[in-house]
Each structure stands twice: as C-alpha cells, then as structure tokens.
Amino acid sequence: MVAAPYQTFYTPRAGRVAGTKRLPPSSLSEPQYDDLTSRAYDASGNVDWGGNEVITTAPDGSQFTSRYARSRSYYGADERLRYYQEQVLVSSGTSVQNLGVWEEYRYDPLGRRVLVRSNRDDLCDQPDQCVSHITRYVWSGDQVLWELRAEGGNGASLESESSMGAQHGRVSYFHAGGIDRPLVIMKNDTSIIPHQNWRGQFAFGTYANGQVSDCNGWRSPCSNVPWAGFRTTAWHVEANAPDIRNWYGGLVDGMRDASGQMYMRNRYYDPATGQFTQTDPIGIAGGLNAYGFAAGDPVTYSDPYGLYIIIQGSREYRQRVLRALAYVAGRSETFRDIHNLFAASRRVHIRIGADILGNDCSAPGCHRSVPFQGISLIQVRDDIDGDLAFAEVLAHEIIHAAGAQSRRLPTNVPLQCAARLASTAHACTEVWDQQIKQEIEDWHERARAVRALQSGDSKQD
C-alpha cells in the first residue's frame, strides 16, 4: 500500500497493484499534482510494463512541468530480470528533455547480481544528468565487498574494470553491522563512516577523525554523497533534496538502479508502487501478499533478501533474535555459509518465533521442517537465561533445519560437509555444530590475545 495522499488500484482476482494516483491537495493555494503510475504483468506475475505521468501546475496555472515515462522489463527462463528499458520525456515550458535508460543485468550461479550495464547514450540528451556505466560486483557470501564502475556507453571498452571520476571508480566496504550495513565505505583513497537515521537509512557520514564528511559550503576536505536518509521517504521514494550526482556505491542508496528499482537479491523493489516487481519466491509461506515489502511496515522492518520477515514475536524478541544471529554470524564462517545457502536457494523459508510450535516443543529450542514445501519452523523460547545461551540454541536449530532442507539447497556452495541426501543430513549437522562451536571459541581466543597485547602496550606507554 502506498502512503497517502495516493490512491491504489488493484487488478481483478490477482490483487496486484495496477496503478496509483495522487489525490488532489486539500488547499487550492497548493500546487496541483496529476501523478498516475500504471503497471502490467506477464503470465508469471512479473511486472513487464510500466507507465508514469506527472503534471505539476502552479496554483494560478501560470507554470507547469510534465514527465512522461514508459518502461519494459524482460526476464530470463530463471525468472530473473535481464533487461530494462525506459523512455522518459520531461518538459518545462518550451524545453523538452529525454532522460531514458537501457540496462542489462547478469548474475552468478548463486543468483547474486555481478554486473549491471547502464547505457544512456541513445536515450538521453542531457549529458550532465545521464551517465552510462558498467558496474561489476565482488561478493563474499551475501555481502558486497567491492563495486567497480567504468564507462559503459557506446564505444567504451567493456573490459575495463573501473575508471576515474565522480560517477565512476572503485568502492569497497568493511562489513560487521549486518546485511547491507557497512561500517566503512571507501572510494579510491577516501574512507567514510556512514551513519543511520531513525529509519535505518544512511543519512550522513564522517571521516575517521570524526569530522563530518558532507559538504555544506565551508568544510574542507568534504565529500558529497547522495545519502538516502535525507533524499527518500520510508518507502524509498525519492523526495525533494539537493541534486547530488557523485557515486559512492550502491549500498548508499539501497542498490537503486537508474531504473529507480532497488535490487534486493531475490527480486527487485519498486518504490513507485511500494511493492516488489515479482511474486515471492517462497510463495504464500512469506505471507498472503506475494508482492508485499517488509510486512507493510518499512519503518520497523527491512527486507534485503526479498523473502519477507523471518522473525515473529514482540519487538524485544525480534531484537534478541537479530542480536543472536549477528553474534554467531560475526564469529563463525560456517554459520554464515549455511545462512547464505538459504538466501541463495530461493526455495526455503524459515520462520523463527518463541511459540511457533507451541506444546509440541518442550525443550529450549525445536524445529520442524516441511521439505516438499520448503518451510522450516524454528521455536526458541524467550525465557532462556543469557544472550549467549540463546544464540547457541538458535544456531543449533538453524543448522538442523538446514540439514532437513538439504534437498532444496544449492549444490555449488563449498562447505566442508554438504548435506545433499537425507541419509547424510544428520551427520552433516553434527559436523556443522562442532565447526561453529570451534570457530566461536577460536574467535574469542583471538580477541583475548588482542586485548592482552593492547594491555601490554598501554602498560609500556
């Protein structure tokens, strides 16, 4: 559902968003906005056609601007978006601008997007607003480590890894704060620490010395970064904000493409309609609204995988589960690999709750899997004393759910023990359990050694 003052229209029977229309302002002294967005779907339920018409008129009718856009999306046999083309005409008075775009997308065997080519040479006549590029992505599990962007227009060398400039270059990330939440963003030789606002969106940055990195007319040095926190609404719709055209990687703005759509691993999110452009890969296991984003509450939830919310319960319980997942994933590579198996499979859905299985579970934690439906239910009681004990129980149940769903998981993710047959699933889960415990113990041992070394240095000083 799109926030007011918009009205949403749905297709008969299927319940898909057919269009949105902005309602008239309450006062005649306000500018008039005629804003109509339309969508059409193919036989698989994917958005394959889009339209948008915006006409803005001053209260006295003396000035107006208009924007007309038509787009087509093309999908591969694997239901992944392969090509996108959009024609955009913007007129103001007697001037008319073409701001179109053509994009091509490529993925690796795990479904992670590894290349985007955006060519605007033939569809845009405003060089200062339209930049053609080819961007390559380097992944570590489910996290983007590098983005390499080079010229991608007509005649450009498509073999170049990156080129210099405000709209091109190399961006690297240092992760430890969760999915798509890097602690440090580095472009070329400049490192910036991003800071989030209350909505969880990056809103400003600082350098390592604590100085605010954003430019405001007097700071030097400074870096103009298009932070999403002050440019978009909670639904990721672009709002009125300074026009910043510097590129600092896709994670700054939620992996938003030139199309306006946002890449969320398993599918794309369309801010214009507040929904995904494809049905949920896990079907109704992710909820009755197969196109819904973040359970209709993007302020409270996020959905970086496009697979819906996996945690049920109170706010305190959800936060406890997230802390436990971050604790184990930050210390165990094996656990991260298995977690990535679920994300890459597109066919397995995990629900975690304190009372999902009810009286069927008398232990601190239990799990139940339905392999043919790709659903795993995990119950971890909230009355477990201590966050460490809670994290150990949660990790144990997720590992066993992975073993039970082994037939549905990808076969090309390297693990020391890959459960592929039901007869080997139990043996593999035991090996995984031991590996995770050992990796967590090793992590703490290294941390103790570092603290001891730092303590010795401070005494010498």
Inside any domain, residue 294: no
Are residues 161 and 36 located together in one domain of the fold?
yes
Are residues 128 and 276 located together in one domain of the fold?
yes
pLDDT of residue 324: 84
Q: Is the pLDDT of residue 32 over 60?
A: yes
pLDDT of residue 107: 92
Q: Is the pLDDT of residue 4 over 50?
A: no
Inside any domain, residue 322: yes
C-beta neighbour count of 122 within 10 angstroms = 12
> Which stretch of DSSP H or E encloses residue 174?
strand 169-175
Inside any domain, residue 241: yes
Are residues 96 and 242 located together in one domain of the fold?
yes
Instruction: Give DSSP secondary structure letters for 26-81.
Output: SSTTSPEEEEEEEEEE-TTS-EEEEEEEEEEE-TTSS-EEEEEEEEEEEE-TTS-E
Helix or strand or coil: residue 102? strand
The number of domains in the chain is: 2
Question: Percentage of residues in the chain with pLDDT exceeding 90?
Answer: 9
> Which stretch of DSSP H or E encloses residue 110?
none
Helix or strand or coil: residue 458? helix
pLDDT of residue 307: 47
What single letter denotes the amino acid at residue 184?
V
Are residues 269 and 379 located together in one domain of the fold?
no
The token pair that represents 154 in the structure block: 């007509």
* Sign of the dihedral defined by the CA atoms of residues 223, 104, 53, 263, in that order: negative
pLDDT of residue 114: 94
- Write the Ramachandran bin of 303: left for phi over 0, alpha for psi from -120 to 50, otherwise beta: beta
Are residues 275 and 331 located together in one domain of the fold?
no
The C-alpha atoms of residue 267 and residue 262 are separated, in whole angstroms, by 9
Inside any domain, residue 452: no
Are residues 90 and 207 located together in one domain of the fold?
yes
Inside any domain, residue 453: no
pTM of the predicted protein model: 0.62
Instruction: Give DSSP secondary structure letters for 227-287.
Output: -GGGTB-TT--B-S---------GGGGTSB-TTS-EE-SSSEEETTTTEESS--TTGGGG-
Band the pLDDT of 412: cuts 50, 70, 90: very low
Are residues 214 and 352 located together in one domain of the fold?
no
Mean pLDDT of all residues in 279-299: 61
Are residues 239 and 326 located together in one domain of the fold?
no
Are residues 214 and 95 located together in one domain of the fold?
yes
> Which stretch of DSSP H or E encloses residue 344?
helix 333-345
Angle, nearest 10°, between helix axes 315-329 and 387-404?
Answer: 80
> Which stretch of DSSP H or E encloses residue 451?
helix 422-460
Band the pLDDT of 421: cuts 50, 70, 90: very low
Are residues 192 and 275 located together in one domain of the fold?
yes
Q: Is the pLDDT of residue 108 over 80?
A: yes
Model confidence over 330-345: pLDDT tens digits?
788 778 777 666 655 5
The C-alpha atoms of residue 52 and residue 273 are separated, in whole angstroms, by 11
Angle, nearest 10°, between helix axes 422-460 and 333-345?
Answer: 130
Asked whether the bond before 410 is cis by omega within 30 degrees of 0, the reply is no
The C-alpha atoms of residue 452 and residue 448 are separated, in whole angstroms, by 6
Band the pLDDT of 201: cuts 50, 70, 90: confident
Q: Which one is predicted more confidently, 178 or 425? A: 178
Q: Which one is predicted more confidently, 356 or 101? A: 101
> Which stretch of DSSP H or E encloses residue 445?
helix 422-460
Are residues 182 and 91 located together in one domain of the fold?
yes
- Comparing 131-140, 185-194, 420-429, the range with the smallest average pLDDT is 420-429
Are residues 249 and 344 located together in one domain of the fold?
no
Token match 């001891």: residue? 452
Inside any domain, residue 309: no
Closest to 136 in 3D by CA, of 157, 117, 110:
117
Domain membership of residue 52 as a residue range: 6-284
For 454, residues 6+ apart whose C-beta sits below 8 A from its C-beta are: none
Q: Which one is predicted more confidently, 409 or 230? A: 230
Q: Is the pLDDT of residue 295 over 70?
A: no
Band the pLDDT of 157: cuts 50, 70, 90: confident
Model confidence over 41-99: pLDDT tens digits?
888 888 999 988 887 776 666 667 788 889 999 999 888 899 999 988 888 777 788 88
* Sign of the dihedral defined by the CA atoms of residues 153, 155, 158, 162, in that order: negative
Model confidence over 333-389: pLDDT tens digits?
778 777 666 655 545 667 788 888 888 888 888 888 765 556 778 888 888 888 888
The C-alpha atoms of residue 453 and residue 461 are separated, in whole angstroms, by 13
Helix or strand or coil: residue 143? strand
Inside any domain, residue 150: yes
Mean pLDDT of all residues in 418-423: 43
Inside any domain, residue 302: no
